[in-house]
Structure 1
Amino acid sequence: MGTITLNGGKTAIFFRSLCNIFMKKFTTKKMLLAFLFFVFVSCFVWMLDDIERERFRLRLSKYKTLPSRIVGNIPLRRTWTTKNYRRPNTSIPGVIDDILAMEPPPYLPDLKNPCWYEKTHRNISKRRCLPYFYLLGVDKCATTDLFSRMLKHPQILYTKAVNSKETHWWSWRRFGYDVFINNARIQHFEDYLHIFDPTSEQLTRTQIFGDGSPTYFWDFTGWPLIPQNKGLKFPRFLTPHCIKHLTPNVKFIIILRNPVERLYSDYLFLIRNNPTPEKFHAGVLLAMKKLSDCEKIYGTRLCLFNKTLHMQTQIRLLIGMYGDYLIEWLKVFPMHQFMIIKTEEYKKDIAEHLRKIFKFLELTELSQSELIRISSGRHAFERADEIKRIGPMLPKTKVLLTRFYSSVKLKVSDILPDNTFIWN
């Protein structure tokens, strides 16, 4: 190697002499090897330090990690505390929780709800619980009326959910969705548990609570955001898979109404800008055209699970296609975990339906007088006088929708072959 030439005073001469001595002693090859050795040692020391930090963190948290397990081809995380009960990056805005990668907690055997204890950041044990049952839906089929009466059973507790009923977490909140919205704040699994925390702390052996969000039954539009569906053209995992992964023995209640009447009731409930039967008819025609155009390209299943299509059709025609959604639930859960009732029959004899529901939920049987007391009173969300003055849908709209939903009725009757759900 050559020498370094510097111009200047005594300091420059001294520095030049020092550099020349150094470069004569160390060749380029030796300097490169020394640099590589330094990098290797630095990485090794950093690794040891990281391992030691992890050991210290585990000692501090005072819980033992469990060996990783595999469900299908989904690797499960191996912790029990809520902080680590989800993927580390799920606290980042815009990133949803990876439910299927969570390790199901060790549930307590003496409670009906799936509950467990976990350590808080202050090293205090806290009981967390998930719902014992879901009232899956459907919107405008008397879910609010039914749930409000169910809450009058002394063994069903209130929660911090809206009306002690709805969270919409599995269908909307965890994806940052809402009705006609796809860019709201993402709510995490911790947010969902927090809704039930006060109730979870006071649960006894015989008491339960549930989630009555009617969108769970039909809204699978968040499927592209589920990590295990990444890159897939068709959904492999939907809400039923996520719920079963954490709570495989949960119970479901579904209440179905004539889809024609349901749709008009839904329109009058949601539309605030001077609703009329004529506007409803025009909206139905537009919704049918959009669905038909979508089906030509993607097929019925993908269109039903398409958030854009749902947002573009304010007449929510797709919700009434009960059979398609019911099939998805029954692919994952056995029929004995469901109780499916008909709105029209429920309104005729509320007390008897409540008796069957309480029995299905394995609750203490109430006396007939108690059931009658709970069943009495006004129905929830009875139409106001100004809505009643709008009048019924146009006869031609009813004929159009009856034809459209005829295949839906046949599909439901094939799944539930007792002719109960054949609406006239």
Structure 2
Amino acid sequence: MRLTSNYSHRRERTGFTVAGSRFIKENCRWLFPMFRWRTFLPRCNPQCGFSFIIGAVVLFLISYLYISHRTRVGRPFRLGQLGARLHNGAHIQGSGRRNAFSSTDVKIPKPRRRWEEKAEAQNESGVEGTVSWRQVSDVINLMAKMTPDDPSSGKPAVQSEVLMRQIKELTEAMLSEKTMLPKLQDPPMCVGDLKEGEVEDIFCIPKPNYLSHIKNPCWYTDEMFREVKVRKLNCLPYFHILGCAKSGTTDLWNRLMSHPHVVSNDGLLHKEGLWWSWRRYGISGYNRNKVMNFSEYVDLFQDTARQIQASVESDSLLQQILITGDASPPDFWDFRGWTNISQNRNHHIPRVITPHLMKHFYTNPKFILMFRDPIERLYSDYFFVGGGLTSLDFHNDVLASINLVHSCVKRFGLVSCFYDHRLYIKLPVRLPFACYSVFMREWLQVFPKENFLLIKTEEYDEDSEATLKEVMAFLGLGPLRENVLQEITEEERSRVTVQRKIAGPMRNATREILHSLLDPCGLELARLLKNDKFTWS
């Protein structure tokens, strides 16, 4: 009986093994070859077959890593060639448009054509080119091997006395009241007929009749839907977060979105409408895009309108507390589209800019302005937009930008240059809007200081909870419980520029140059705002 039992047990086990092998052969031939181990190793048990496969995989991986390492290390790339590339290739000759702004008495490194390269890449493929992490690492490692005596290490080509003269003349122009736009005595009027290149005249759009029982600025319009007239609720932002790139506006917005009474929009990152400064004129950063009219901008806030409309229909009180906003930093400083405004026709400097356009729609708007140390912000912004890879790139591009801006201002005037699209796309460092006072004084000519909540980014970083409480009080939002507010403030920071950390600290020589240029702007900003905390000198 025992022999029979053992025999039958062995037969069942063998039958199961054969059946399983036949099933794998017939149904899984497309899988990894290890499922067909009996084909390759007919006389080997399963343990032996799997061991062989694992060994083959390990050998393959070792070979692949070794070949990759040898290819990377054995690259035919000489240190001298890298130095020449960093010194010359990174600052290639500019176009004729840049040469029109160039000075003849100064020889400096030419700005990079990074922006033109990005535009060409977008036009060809619709995708913006990026630098791989391996390229970044290679350049940084080879830069570290350079000796101070290396002629390719990038010594400043601008003589100190010439540079200081340029800085002095630029500072005088930025602080002079003569460079301010003339204050309008009467509101702009509708022009009506549009000339070539001009965009929608919003002064021809009647100011909406905002509903008094709704906190957010909303109004009804009659529209046709399937040959039936319907009433549609439209809304504009209750508040605007302004500032400059890398000042913390995205982080503040994301934390505000945690409040149950604040609704996001359908703009970029559900945050930026970018209409007042860019999309209204068909501008998209350094490129051109489709022009967006006012009704399309209003459609970005349809989510808020739907929630408020549902609240009205259900007789709840949400319409009295729900608000939405627009956090588009360029709205504060980017006035490049002024030549497309009908009211500026036949004028060599603008009469109407973004604050005047907003004044037409808003009676008592709320602006939240964030200001960061302009030097640190400029350094972070440089790497954020892909300007360069190292602190040496930044140093050379700062010198090039100072020369370009100085030459332009000396020839055409500050307003024509600071609000000019051609110069903007040529600058390797976005230097003009680092002087906050130039733009702040234009806003204060249109809106009183009471419409602005001014936030210093450094204080926001140190105590974000106190800043959030201040913002909520300014917007009339209900207070949050302490534990909820603490959870919001402990969230991870948004949009931290990793490239800036890779590049390391700014060079002391660069910092001294920027202090000489921008410290007077900080003093002027403190004077305009009557608040000394906005000086970073």
TM bin (shorter chain): 0.7 to 0.9
Offset at 1:299? 2.1
| Alpha-carbon offset, residue 368 of structure 1 | 2.5
Question: How far 1:320 moved relative to its partner?
Answer: 0.9
Contact 2:380–2:500 (CA<8 Å) still a contact in 1?
Answer: no
Partner of 1:359: 473
2:295 is matched with 190
Question: Who is 1:135 aligned against?
Answer: 241
Aligned-residue offset at 1:72: 4.0
CA RMSD of aligned residues (A): 1.8
Counterpart in the other structure of 1:163: 269
1:171 aligned partner, one-letter code: S
Task: Give the secondary-structure state (helix, strand or coil) at the position aligned to 2:503.
Answer: coil
- The answer as to 2:235 corresponding to 1:121 is no
1:170-319 mapped onto 2 (5 Å cutoff): 170-181=276-287, 183-203=288-308, 204-271=319-386, 275-319=389-433
State the partner residue of 2:58. Answer: none
Query: Structure 2: how far apart are the matches of 1:168 and 1:194?
Result: 13
Residues 95 and 305 (structure 1), Cα distance of their counterparts in 2 relative to 1, 3 Å cut? closer
Q: Which residue of 1 aligns with 2:484?
A: 370
1:397 maps to 2:503: no
Deviations 1:140-181 (A, max 9, x none): 101100110011111111221122211110000010112112
TM-score, normalization by structure 1: 0.77
For residues 417 and 206 of structure 1, the distance between their equivalents in structure 2, rounded to whole angstroms, comes to 32
Are 2:513 and 1:408 equivalent residues in the alignment?
A: no
- Once the 2 structures are TM-superposed, how far is the Cα of residue 389 of structure 1 from its aligned partner? 2.5
**1:84-134: per-residue Cα shift (whole Å, max 9, x none)?**
xxx6979xx965111122210111111122111001122111000110000
Aligned to 2:530: 417
Q: What per-residue deviation string (whole Å, max 9, x for no partner) do you get for residues 175-216 of structure 1? A: 0112112x3211111211111112212122101000000000
Higher helix share: 2
Contact 2:262-2:323 within 8 A present in 1 as well: yes
Structure 2 matches for 1:37-52, cutoff 5 A?
none
Q: Distance in 2 between matches of 1:138 and 1:389?
A: 22
Contact 1:115 1:130 in 2 (8 A): yes
Equivalent residue, structure 1, for 2:207: 104
AA paired with 1:132?
Answer: Y
Q: Distance in 1 between matches of 2:535 and 2:500?
A: 28
Is the 1:160–1:195 Cα contact (8 Å) retained in structure 2? yes
Secondary structure at the aligned position of 1:289 is classed as helix
User: Partners of 1:88 and 1:108 in 2: how far apart?
Assistant: 31
Q: Please tell me whether the aligned partners of residues 138 and 254 of structure 1 are also in contact (alpha carbons under 8 angstroms).
A: no
- Please report how far the alpha carbon of residue 402 of structure 1 lies from its aligned counterpart in structure 2 after TM superposition: 0.9
- Secondary structure, aligned partner of 2:336: coil
Distance 2:194 2:508 in 1: 54
The answer as to whether partners of 1:257 and 1:343 remain within 8 angstroms in 2 is yes
Q: Distance in 1 between matches of 2:465 and 2:475?
A: 15
What do residues 265-301 of structure 1 show as CA deviations (whole Å, max 9, x unaligned)? 00111116x5111111111111111110111122223
In the other structure, the counterpart of 1:62 is none
Aligned to 2:41: none
Q: CA deviation at 1:370?
A: 2.1
User: In the aligned structure 2, how far is the partner of 1:388 from the partner of 1:73?
Assistant: 47
For 1:396 and 1:365, the matched residues in 2 are separated by: 47
Equivalent positions of 1:334-345 (< 5 A) are 334-345=448-459
What is the alpha-carbon distance in structure 2 between the residues aligned to residue 96 and residue 88 of structure 1? 11
Query: Which of the pair has the greater relative contact order for Cα pairs under 8 Å at 6+ separation?
Result: 2
SS at match of 1:244: helix
1:120 alignment partner, SS class: strand
Judged with a 3 Å threshold, the aligned counterparts in structure 2 of structure 1 residues 275 and 119 are, in CA distance, closer, same or farther, namely same
Partner of 1:15: none
* 1:68 alignment partner in structure 2: none
Change (3 A) 1:418 1:95: closer
State the secondary structure of the residue aligned to 1:222.
helix
Distance 1:98 1:314 in 2: 33
- Indicate if the aligned counterparts of 2:368 and 2:452 stay in contact, CA closer than 8 A: yes
Q: Judging changes above 3 Å, is the alpha-carbon distance between structure 1 residues 120 and 410 closer, same or farther for their aligned structure 2 residues?
A: same
Deviation (angstroms), 1:261:
0.4
1:307 Cα deviation from its structure 2 partner: 1.4
Distance 1:400 1:73, change over 3 A: closer
- SS of residue in 1 equivalent to 2:367: strand
Per the alignment, do residues 190 and 369 of structure 1 end up closer, same or farther by CA in structure 2, a change over 3 Å counting?
same
What is the CA–CA distance in structure 2 between the aligned matches of 1:377 and 1:306, rounded to whole Å?
Answer: 39
Indicate conservation of the 8 Å contact 2:304/2:323, yes or no.
no
Partners in 2 of 1:263 and 1:289 — Cα distance? 17
Runs of 4+ aligned structure 1 residues displaced above 3 Å come to 87-90
**Gap runs ≥5 in structure 2:** 1-185, 309-318
- Which residues of structure 1 form unaligned runs of 5+? 1-70, 77-86
